[in-house]
Amino acid sequence: MSAQVIDGRAAAHSLKEGVASDVARLKAEGTGIGLATVVVGEEYGSAAYERRLTRLAAELGVVHRRCTVPATASQDEVVEVVRGLNTDPEVSGILVLRPLPSHIDESAVFRAIDPRKDIEAVHPENAGLLALGVPRFVPSTAASVFHLLDTWLDSVGENRADFYHRSLIVVVGRSNNVGKPATSLGYQRQATVESVDEWADRTTGVGRRTRWADVLIVAAGKAGLIKAEHVSENAVVIDVGINPQTGADGRVHMVGDVDFASVAPRVRAITPVPGGVGPVTDVWLLRNTVLAARILSGMTSDEAACSLTDPIPATVGVSALSLQEAS
């Protein structure tokens, strides 16, 4: 049996249509939408991501303010750039691209972002709201993982709540920007969730946990970490990893954390790399920028989320909780 391949490009395309109509609606109402990106130094991955966002913002008619800061800039100088964007009326969402140079404490920079413009939920206030199950913004990569899962479940006619309630979700990788938010989103769907990091891999081996997963989310940044022997036959596998690899032709191309060739024939469904989580992540960031523009115009997070074309998946399964503003 061969897995269904979950098409991230198609999901991104339909999500983009929703975001485009939200942008048009807001603009017609006179609400400006602007994305600011802050890149410190020159890093291959950040530069490529920023170029994709520039193209997407232009396509959607969103203002894009690029702030390029030299790698030698001090922490205070980077914080000043962020403060300037906080008060810039043309900017509704701020993204500080990782990694920052090692002499800069990224948490100090993240704390400087106005929480209402913090579209990746890196400010402690937004990270806390996400952990409590009442997010203002859902970080784009974790949001995309669950958007792909949710839309795939819809496509195969499985009830989302029934599926998540009986599922074990194993998240490989525990970073603040991907692994932990994905774990929070799993909890919000009332799934059973396990988090595995490199220490589990070094001690008992990652497969001891992953083999039991109904849903396996892999965000470790290790090419080909997950192989056929690490997965169960019924698993749905979401590969977040993006790892540059030089092919036989000498060209650099991207591969995931999952060994697609050996895993795909064994599991129920799988995302490819490229063409899986990545394209959705880009659109989700723009979607969060629209959400931020709504919040800045005076809406509560709840009202802003409800006003968008596509519902927020993070609220699935948290109907008993009400979204509360922290400020």
**Of residues 178, 217, 235, 286, which one binds ligand NAD by CB under 6 A?**
178
Q: Is 300 in the site for ligand NAD (CB under 6 A)?
A: no
Q: Of 23-31, 123-131, 157-165, 168-176, which part binds ligand NAD (CB under 6 A)?
A: 168-176
Distance CA 26, CA 11 (A): 23
CB atoms within 10 A of CB 190: 15
User: Which residues does residue 136 pair with via DSSP β-bridges, in sequence order?
Assistant: none
Distance CA 154, CA 83 (A): 42
Stretch 50-89: interaction string toward ligand NAD, x if CB under 6 A: ----------------------------------------
Distance CA 173, CA 6 (A): 21
Provide the token pair at 139.
Answer: 């970080």
DSSP reduced 3-state for 160: helix
Q: Is 185 in the site for ligand NAD (CB under 6 A)?
A: no
Q: Is 277 in the site for ligand NAD (CB under 6 A)?
A: yes
Q: Is 278 in the site for ligand NAD (CB under 6 A)?
A: yes
Q: Is 281 in the site for ligand NAD (CB under 6 A)?
A: yes
Q: Of 29-37, 59-67, 120-128, 194-202, which part binds ligand NAD (CB under 6 A)?
A: 194-202
Q: Of 33-41, 153-161, 163-171, 217-225, which part binds ligand NAD (CB under 6 A)?
A: 217-225
Q: Is 127 in the site for ligand NAD (CB under 6 A)?
A: no
**Of residues 109, 219, 270, 292, which one binds ligand NAD by CB under 6 A?**
219
The 8-class DSSP code of residue 89 comes to: T
Distance CA 213, CA 31 (A): 44
Q: Is 23 in the site for ligand NAD (CB under 6 A)?
A: no
Q: Is 201 in the site for ligand NAD (CB under 6 A)?
A: yes
Q: In the block, which residue shows the tokens 């998540």?
A: 164
Distance CA 166, CA 164 (A): 5
Stretch 234-273: interaction string toward ligand NAD, x if CB under 6 A: ------xxxx------------------------------
User: Which residues does residue 196 pair with via DSSP β-bridges, in sequence order?
Assistant: 172
Pick from 193, 190, 164, 167: nearest CA to 320: 190
Q: Is 128 in the site for ligand NAD (CB under 6 A)?
A: no
Residue (230 or 294) nearer to ligand NAD, CB? 230
Report, in Å, the least distance between residue 208 CB and ligand NAD: 11
Ramachandran sector of residue 41 (left: φ over 0; alpha: ψ -120 to 50; beta: rest)? left
| Strand locations in the chain (E) | 4-5, 34-40, 63-69, 93-96, 168-172, 192-196, 215-218, 236-239, 243-246, 252-255, 269-270
Residues forming contacts to ligand NAD in the complex (CB under 6 A) are: 141, 172-175, 177-179, 196-198, 201, 206, 219-222, 225, 240-243, 277-278, 281
